[in-house]
Structure 1
């Protein structure tokens, strides 16, 4: 009986030999985001929730500007990524793919909105670049983060090479 999967992930490896490295990178990325959020919230506490770089002097935290809204969002996302990596069991696979995609899309969207009144998270070009890098790390960790039984691993490997697997 086939298991439910996300469309398009059949070609991704299961139990990749570098998975521990990618888990560590995803964990460190989550910790960076979480620490940024906490420090950013503490340093930007007196500002308006959606303060923008041209309206206020945003505090610089870990090389990035922070407003309260972006800091709170970072705390939530960082905590989710860290918890997903700790839990493992393919939870990190899904969370890293999703979070990486969201970070990549958000960095491009915010780049388009940098000098507009819609820059609610107070992004600067440095923030867009950092979001792109963090998104790439998490997305890559997701690509190589799937785990499964040795039978599923063999079946996925055979599928990638165009072979059929028969059950005995």
Structure 2
């Protein structure tokens, strides 16, 4: 069983950073949805939003992940701890998976290398926030 620090003194700072990451993901997804409205779901065009390539599938994915991160930050407690751990690992895994398909026809999320880098950063921010977000009695 893993040992996570309880009631870490920087817990609120990490929560704030995860909130910023969730806000960025939600904003990217929402603007991406507005930009790619009417395109095919897995469109492989040249739509760029906030410095990242996007299509409707990627925009929906980032919107959902961003809203989940924001909800976890608002709920706080051990729900925040669990959700950010899962989403952090999930985002890092997704980034590595889509990196393998960048130059192929399987690039259904229309990503470029900058998307991979930003997704890994968002995943690591969420993961670190989750690692230090556990609360309990001292």
TM-score (norm 2): 0.96
1:136 is matched with: 124
Give the distance between the partners of 1:86 and 1:94, measured in 2 at CA. 14
Q: Give the alignment's Cα RMSD to 1 decimal.
A: 0.9
Give the length in aligned residue pairs. 138
How far the C-alpha of 1:46 sits from its partner, in A, is 2.5
- Which of 1 and 2 has higher RCO (CA within 8 Å, sep 6+)? 2
2:81 is matched with: 93
Give the distance between the partners of 1:131 and 1:76, measured in 2 at CA. 14
Give the distance between the partners of 2:114 and 2:63, measured in 1 at CA. 19
Could you tell me which runs of 5 or more consecutive residues in structure 2 were left unpaired when the two chains were aligned: none
How far the C-alpha of 1:149 sits from its partner, in A, is 1.3
How far the C-alpha of 1:61 sits from its partner, in A, is 0.9
Q: 2:39 aligns with which of 47, 58, 62?
A: 47
Could you tell me which runs of 5 or more consecutive residues in structure 1 were left unpaired when the two chains were aligned: 1-7, 151-168
> Mapping of 1:71-150 within 5 angstroms?
71-150=59-138
Give the distance between the partners of 1:74 and 1:82, measured in 2 at CA. 12
Larger gyration radius, structure 1 or structure 2: 1
More helix by share: 2
TM-score (norm 1): 0.80
Q: 1:12 aligns with which of 1, 4, 7?
A: 4
Give the distance between the partners of 2:125 and 2:134, measured in 1 at CA. 15
